[in-house]
């Protein structure tokens, strides 16, 4: 599933493909615009995205 969100560093709108086969996920992905690391935390219920958070890495 494609999901659009705003980078917590540069405020650009970016998109990412999320895998709904896992109920929850927490991982680091670099922003495609400013290349800074974003912690992505999201949860699915079946095929529905029920929560999504993109946050800055502490100390970066």
In the predicted model, is pLDDT for residue 60 greater than 70?
no
Average pLDDT for the chain: 93
Q: What is the pTM of this model?
A: 0.82
What is the rounded average pLDDT of the residues 48-55?
Answer: 96
User: What mean pLDDT do residues 26-55 have?
Assistant: 95
Residues above pLDDT 70, as percent of the chain: 98
Q: List, for residues 18-37, the tens digit of each pLDDT value.
A: 988 889 999 999 999 999 99
* Alpha carbon distance 6, 16 (integer Å): 11
List of long-range contacts for 57-60, beta carbons under 8 Å, 24+ apart: 57/28, 60/36
Task: Please check whether residue 7 is in contact with residue 54, taking contact to mean a CB–CB distance below 8 angstroms.
Answer: yes
Residue in the block written with tokens 């529905």: 48
Handedness of CA 34, 35, 37, 39 (dihedral sign): positive
């Amino acid at each position: 599933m494609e999901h659009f969100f705003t980078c917590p560093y540069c405020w650009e709108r970016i998109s990412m493909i999320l895998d709904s086969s896992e109920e929850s996920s927490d991982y680091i992905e670099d922003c495609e615009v400013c290349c800074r690391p974003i912690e992505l935390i999201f949860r699915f219920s079946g095929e529905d995205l029920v929560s999504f958070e993109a946050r800055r890495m502490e100390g970066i």
